[in-house]
Structure 1
Amino acid sequence: MSSYQTIGSPVLYGGLKLKNRIIFAPTSMGVAPDEMIERMRQIAAGGCAMIVIGDVSVLPHGFGPSLYSKKGMDFYKRLAQAVHSENCLLCAQLHQSDSNLRAMFKYVPGVLTKKISKAELRPLLNKEVGPYITGMSTAQITKIIRAFGRAAVLAKQAGFDMIQVHGDRMCGSFSSSIYNHRTDMYGQSAENRARFACEAVRSVREQLPDIPIDYKLAVRRENPHYGNAGVLESELPVFIPLLEQAGVTSFHVTLANHGELEDTIPSAKHPYFGQEGCFLPFCDQVRALTTLPVCGVGGLTDPDFVEQQIKVGRMDCAAMSRALIADPQWPNKAMSGKVNEIRRCVRCNRACLGGMMAHKGVHCIYEKEIEQ
């Protein structure tokens, strides 16, 4: 008998019954559509309860497959079919990019001539977020908010079982006093800065009254400073009740983005987030403010650690990306007592984050075809 009874136990996660406590966290895989579907099928076959698909744009234009095009809808339907065939559920992470495309164009010549490196481009684009969010018209805001509802309907038609509203990206930038300098009803106070995210959630809820809505709650911390978008720890007591009232049924808690990628995807050598379960202190704060289910994420690799943290109630579910990329069979091996056979993620970030940064797709050092 497996000693990982809690990991293997079913749970009602925001109204959706999951067969166990392991979720594949949203990941920008950067691979071709057919490879993406097969990779997700393999992860589903490995025993996790649900896969969250990131980068699902709420507007017709955006990066990656579009719910609004026949090609994009066909992709998502094939993806849902593949994942469901392995007795695994599927969640669509709806987001709107906060990148100012017009501002991006002015950096194109520098990138093409290699005067601006890819590493230098990210902070330059982050500096454009504040003016973009602050200067956005209310008509454009209304258009994007309505699109969350429309995209959710399309996602359900494609076969998704749950909607996750991405609390980073545009929702996170509106939430953050670092980027949001508006003086209207969407700015200044924490309540006003929460409005965009709450209206996005409400848009989904109005279109789909019964669908479970997960919210990726991106938390920003100070002393030391990590993350620029998202919700300041001290503002969680304001944001969480408002999000609940808007229709959120569960929280996926993590560190806010718009800083270094090595912070939100920390290696074992990270100066602050090097430990296992590095973002769980944020879960502790959220847990104290809500009775809704909470999903933890961040450097979760060890079955003993994960079992204990769920057992003591720090989180209801554990979301993993790198650990399941290293070994899709992690859940099956843990729950069948074959934990010694798990290919453990060592959080080296060489072929996963490294592959993403090099535009070669997310892989793992365990894959034979990857040069080490």
Structure 2
Amino acid sequence: MPCNPRYEILFEPVGIGPVTAPNRFYQVPHASGMTNALPRVRAAFREAKAEGGWGVICTGACSIDPTSDDAPLPFATLWDENDIRAHALMTEAVHRHGSLAGVELWHGGASVMNRTSRLPPLSPSGIPWMATHVGFMGNLKPKTMDKADIREVLRCQAEAARKARTAGFDIVYVYAGMGYLGYEFLLPEYNHRADEYGGSIGNRVRFVREMIEVTKDAVGKDCGVALRVSLEELRGRPGRNQPSEAHELIELLADLPDLFDVKMDSSPTDCSASRFTGEGSHEPVIDFVKSLTKKPVVGVGRFTSPDTMVSQIRRGVLDLVGGARPSIADPFLPAKIREGREAEIRECIGCNICISSWHD
């Protein structure tokens, strides 16, 4: 069966800096629970989504340095040549189907335990993150980052970005959400600094800006650079020149990344069960982003109905339809829409059993 004409907009290509997504279906970063210990299984897991028509396929959180060590939880790394080879299995698999591959470079900041590296967690002001995903932080107190620590994290981000380019990734992420290091710089509860990295929203954005800049310098013209940022907390804070600090953040960074990947906060709010929220629940938090930037925007909302997806695009909320849980429930969701088989979509029911095993 042919594609319903109403849904043809979903199959338009979208430019992301120097690369082009073949359609608007974007599997946003999400964990697989497989880590670097199972690189072939992990690659096959992602390849199934590329085969199913997702135009962009991303990794889960991928550590840039041993100061961001999520042990004893499973996590992925991009630290050395072995990691490059492991991730190349995924990029090659995704590229076989004409899709783009993205990597979510990650520093956990005060929310990691560093149980393997035994290095002190890092944070803007030495404040423990109030709620890790599983409560393993115990009484660990993170180190307050000095200027040398900031320079070192920027160096590690750049080096990981170069490794990502070598591994074949098309999109490289800067992560500023979900309680991790970039997000900690953005929130005044965790950033009490009196230098150029603290105080006003302009100063608190500085670290994230520098992370984007070093990433762009590292990948050159080979990769698009995406910023993933949580907006719910900042949306609730009045801005000086905008309705909220979330507006000010987007305005300050509007021209810098090639893509904005915007979300509410972390798993408890981002992935609410279907008994409490319907499709598109992030819209009230992220609906302003496209009004402040000309760069493409991707967001999530447990999208399973093609009509809802089309509505998000036509109303100017999103440019790309993000999916994590829907891509797990049905890796072939885009192909079924393209082939006029939308009635056969295996919809994500929002049961959230996938959230119980979230680390990459």
Scaled by the length of structure 1, the TM-score of the pair is 0.81
Which one-letter code corresponds to 1:186 in the other structure? Y
**Which residue number corresponds to residue 9 of structure 2?**
6
Give yes or no for the alignment of 1:51 onto 2:44: no
**Which residue number corresponds to residue 245 of structure 2?**
235
Distance 1:203 1:262 in 2: 31
**Which residue number corresponds to residue 27 of structure 1?**
30
Aligned residues: 329
Give yes or no for the alignment of 1:277 onto 2:280: yes
1:261-340 paired onto structure 2 within 5 Å = 261-270=267-276, 274-340=277-343
Distance 1:251 1:101 in 2: 25
Which one-letter code corresponds to 2:288 in the other structure? Q
Distance 2:104 2:194 in 1: 29
**Which residue number corresponds to residue 71 of structure 1?**
82
Instruction: Say if 2:273 and 2:350, in contact at 8 Å, map to a contact too.
Output: yes
Distance 1:103 1:292 in 2: 36
Label 1:17 to 1:263 Cα distance change in 2 as closer, same or farther (>3 A).
same
| Structure 2: stretches of 5+ with no match in the other structure | 117-130
Q: CA deviation at 1:212?
A: 1.6
Which one-letter code corresponds to 1:137 in the other structure? D
Distance 2:283 2:235 in 1: 17
Q: CA deviation at 1:28?
A: 1.3
Q: CA deviation at 1:104?
A: 7.3
Classify the secondary structure of the residue corresponding to 1:7: helix
Instruction: Say if 1:283 and 1:294, in contact at 8 Å, map to a contact too.
Output: no
Classify the secondary structure of the residue corresponding to 1:146: helix
CA offset digits 1:85-111 (Å, max 9, x no partner): 121110111111113667979xxxxxx
Label 1:128 to 1:100 Cα distance change in 2 as closer, same or farther (>3 A).
farther
Instruction: Say if 2:254 and 2:294, in contact at 8 Å, map to a contact too.
Output: no
**Which residue number corresponds to residue 218 of structure 1?**
230
Classify the secondary structure of the residue corresponding to 1:352: helix
Label 1:100 to 1:331 Cα distance change in 2 as closer, same or farther (>3 A).
closer
Q: CA deviation at 1:233?
A: 7.3
**Which residue number corresponds to residue 166 of structure 2?**
157
Task: Identify the range of structure 1 (216-225 vs 248-257) with the bigger mean alpha-carbon deviation.
Answer: 216-225
Label 1:36 to 1:14 Cα distance change in 2 as closer, same or farther (>3 A).
same
Classify the secondary structure of the residue corresponding to 1:182: coil
Classify the secondary structure of the residue corresponding to 1:6: helix
Instruction: Say if 2:3 and 2:338, in contact at 8 Å, map to a contact too.
Output: yes
Q: CA deviation at 1:52?
A: 1.5
Label 1:243 to 1:153 Cα distance change in 2 as closer, same or farther (>3 A).
same
Give yes or no for the alignment of 1:39 onto 2:42: no
Q: CA deviation at 1:213?
A: 1.0
Which one-letter code corresponds to 1:98 in the other structure? G
CA offset digits 1:156-200 (Å, max 9, x no partner): 000001112111211111111121111111111111110110011
**Which residue number corresponds to residue 148 of structure 1?**
157
Instruction: Say if 1:283 and 1:315, in contact at 8 Å, map to a contact too.
Output: no
CA offset digits 1:217-253 (Å, max 9, x no partner): 210248989xxxxxx97113332233245x3112011
Give yes or no for the alignment of 1:249 onto 2:258: yes
Distance 2:236 2:224 in 1: 35
CA offset digits 1:308-355 (Å, max 9, x no partner): 211232110011011111110000001111001111111111x21134
Give yes or no for the alignment of 1:132 onto 2:135: no
CA offset digits 1:228-284 (Å, max 9, x no partner): xxxx97113332233245x31120110123xxx3212211123xxx12111123332
Label 1:214 to 1:83 Cα distance change in 2 as closer, same or farther (>3 A).
same
Give yes or no for the alignment of 1:176 onto 2:179: no
For CA contacts below 8 A with separation 6 or more, give which structure has more relative contact order: 2
- The share of aligned pairs that are identical, in percent, is 27
Distance 1:171 1:101 in 2: 13
CA offset digits 1:74-129 (Å, max 9, x no partner): 11111111111121110111111113667979xxxxxxxxxxxxxx8648568989
Scaled by the length of structure 2, the TM-score of the pair is 0.83
Give yes or no for the alignment of 1:167 onto 2:170: no
Distance 2:260 2:209 in 1: 13
Distance 1:80 1:277 in 2: 29
Instruction: Say if 1:56 and 1:94, in contact at 8 Å, map to a contact too.
Output: yes
Q: CA deviation at 1:289?
A: 1.1
Instruction: Say if 2:32 and 2:357, in contact at 8 Å, map to a contact too.
Output: no
Question: Over aligned residue pairs, what C-alpha RMSD do you find?
Answer: 2.8
Distance 1:128 1:199 in 2: 31
Q: CA deviation at 1:60?
A: 4.9
Classify the secondary structure of the residue corresponding to 2:189: coil
**Which residue number corresponds to residue 354 of structure 1?**
356
Distance 1:202 1:122 in 2: 29
Distance 1:286 1:126 in 2: 34
Instruction: Say if 2:254 and 2:292, in contact at 8 Å, map to a contact too.
Output: no
